[in-house]
Amino acid sequence: MGRIYNFGAGPSMMPLPVLEQAQRELLDYKGSGMSMLEISHRNALFEEVNDQAQAHIKQLLGMDDSWVVMFMGGGASLQFSMIPMNFLTPGKVAAYAITSTFSEKAIKEAHKVGKAVEIYSSKATGLDRVPRPEELKLPENCAYLHLTGNCTAEGLEYFDYPDTGDVPLIVDMSSDILSRPIPLDKFSLIYNGAQKNIGPAGVTVVMAKKEFLKGRDPQLPTMMNYETFADHDSTYNTPPVFGVYLVDLMSQWLLDQGGLGAMEKRNRAKAKLVYDVLDAHPGFYRGHAQKDSRSLMNVTFNLPSKELETRFVAEAKEQGLAGLKGHRSIGGIRASIYNAMPLEGAQALTDFMENFWKNNR
């Protein structure tokens, strides 16, 4: 079988040039006689990769030396716990906007550490939109505001982040990181599981302002303290070496594509193709997200019946369009069209959707 179009939400599709370079270098990385799978994280070859990956991510986002890029394990789910453990100090209140299954998981972990409050929720309407900045009212003694920047399960995305003043803004960008430029000055910490948009499963990328990380409680467990990773260049213990290498290849590929401005144009074009089909047949394809909250990365929708949804997924797979089954918590259909998905893949999906509509309306 040749390559297919993988619309899975993560682990997700990666660019063919990245996979081919990893394949070429798999057995012998730069004449070392070793695979990157075998190279020590103390080896100068990996130190170079580690430094390059950080530098390329900073370059893509426009970060200066006031920011640090860290590579961890545990996925975004571990960050749900690390964030309150590090920043929800006694007497403070953490604020959360609930727009996703993952927002709910994040605040659940915060409740175990200290006081956390929902300052916004779209749960009453099925988690179908993100708030406008003016809808977010911060509590007194606010430790931080946590947002889920792109809601992978529900297909929502923030396009207008609030100005929070002295209150740190922390955002889970697991599925839209490096997909478009962002207003960097608004954030104190950004985190993401790499497997959705910029690398393989097993790597978590955390970007934070250095000043924000200083002064953590020394009684924190060592591996739950952000300063451990910042002070040791992510190599206090063995990091996911091969995963970081792939993140570096992916970030190099993004730079070769023209950077985040070019990727945004491509991602908007892909999303428009799919959303145009939803809008053309609203009685058949029912989009989950309200239009002003529609994600560029994850298009979610339902068909008139579960039987049709099952048939849609099966027939699409037969045509080389895989990974379209919706998240287990909400069902339906989900097409993840991350950075690596070419425009041709989105066009193939929309052609299939048009034919499926004609045959089943």
Same domain, 307 and 249: no
* pLDDT at residue 155 is higher than 80: yes
Distance CA 132, CA 292 (A): 10
Tens digit of each residue's pLDDT (9 = 90 or more) over 279-296: 999 999 999 999 999 999
User: What pLDDT, on a 0 to 100 scale, did the predictor assign at position 329?
Assistant: 79
User: What pLDDT, on a 0 to 100 scale, did the predictor assign at position 62?
Assistant: 98
* pLDDT at residue 135 is higher than 80: yes
Q: Which two tokens stand for residue 10?
A: 């993560």
Mean pLDDT of 303-327: 97
> pTM value?
0.97
* pLDDT at residue 118 is higher than 80: yes
Same domain, 213 and 299: no
Same domain, 251 and 327: no
The answer to the question of residue 4 being in a domain is: no
Q: What is the mean pLDDT of the chain?
A: 97
User: What pLDDT, on a 0 to 100 scale, did the predictor assign at position 72?
Assistant: 97
Same domain, 265 and 154: no
Distance CA 67, CA 327 (A): 34
Distance CA 134, CA 149 (A): 16
User: 1: pLDDT confidence band, cut at 50, 70 and 90?
Assistant: low
User: What pLDDT, on a 0 to 100 scale, did the predictor assign at position 228?
Assistant: 98
- Spell out the SS3 assignment of the chain: CCCCEECCCCCCCCCHHHHHHHHHCCCCCCCCCCCCCCCCCCCHHHHHHHHHHHHHHHHHHCCCCCEEEEEECCHHHHHHHHHHHHHCCCCCEEEEEECCHHHHHHHHHHHCCCEEEEEEECHHHCCCCCCCHHHCCCCCCEEEEEEECEECCCCEECCCCCCCCCCCEEEECCCCCCCCCCCHHHCCEEEEEHHHCCCCCCCEEEEEEHHHHCCCCCCCCHHHCHHHHHHCCCCCCCCCHHHHHHHHHHHHHHHHCCHHHHHHHHHHHHHHHHHHHHHHCCCCCEECCCHHHECCCEEEEECCCHHHHHHHHHHHHHCCEECCECCCCCCCEEEECCCCCCHHHHHHHHHHHHHHHHHHC
Q: Which residue carries 């959360």 as its tokens? A: 96
In angstroms, what CA-CA distances link 17 with 8, 20, 249, 285, 346?
19, 5, 9, 34, 19
Same domain, 251 and 183: yes
Same domain, 133 and 274: no
Write down which residue in 189, 222, 256 finishes a domain. 256
Same domain, 188 and 249: yes
Write down which residue in 234, 256, 278 finishes a domain. 256
The answer to the question of residue 10 being in a domain is: no
CATH number, residue 330: 3.90.1150.10
Paired strand residues for 286: 302
Strand 333-336 and strand 298-302: the pairing is antiparallel
User: What pLDDT, on a 0 to 100 scale, did the predictor assign at position 328?
Assistant: 85
What is the residue range of 96's domain?
Answer: 17-256
**Nearest Cα to 297, choosing from 226, 216, 204, 192?**
192
CATH number, residue 103: 3.40.640.10
* pLDDT at residue 37 is higher than 80: yes
- 100, 76 in Cβ contact below 8 A? no
**Nearest Cα to 359, choosing from 215, 351, 48?**
351
End-to-end CA distance of the chain: 32
Tens digit of each residue's pLDDT (9 = 90 or more) over 242-254: 999 999 999 999 9
Write down which residue in 238, 256, 274 finishes a domain. 256
Distance CA 334, CA 340 (A): 16
Tens digit of each residue's pLDDT (9 = 90 or more) over 343-353: 999 999 999 99
Same domain, 32 and 170: yes
Tens digit of each residue's pLDDT (9 = 90 or more) over 140-154: 999 999 999 999 999
Domain count, the chain: 2
Same domain, 282 and 175: no
- 123, 148 in Cβ contact below 8 A? no
Q: Which residue carries 């915060």 as its tokens? A: 110
Same domain, 287 and 331: yes
Same domain, 57 and 200: yes
* pLDDT at residue 264 is higher than 70: yes
Paired strand residues for 93: 115, 142
Mean pLDDT of 93-114: 98
The answer to the question of residue 8 being in a domain is: no
Distance CA 329, CA 154 (A): 9
Mean pLDDT of 265-278: 98
The answer to the question of residue 3 being in a domain is: no
The answer to the question of residue 84 being in a domain is: yes
- 190, 173 in Cβ contact below 8 A? yes
CA 42 centroid distance within chain? 28
Distance CA 154, CA 138 (A): 25
Same domain, 26 and 88: yes
The answer to the question of residue 355 being in a domain is: yes
Q: What is the CA radius of gyration of the chain?
A: 21
The answer to the question of residue 11 being in a domain is: no
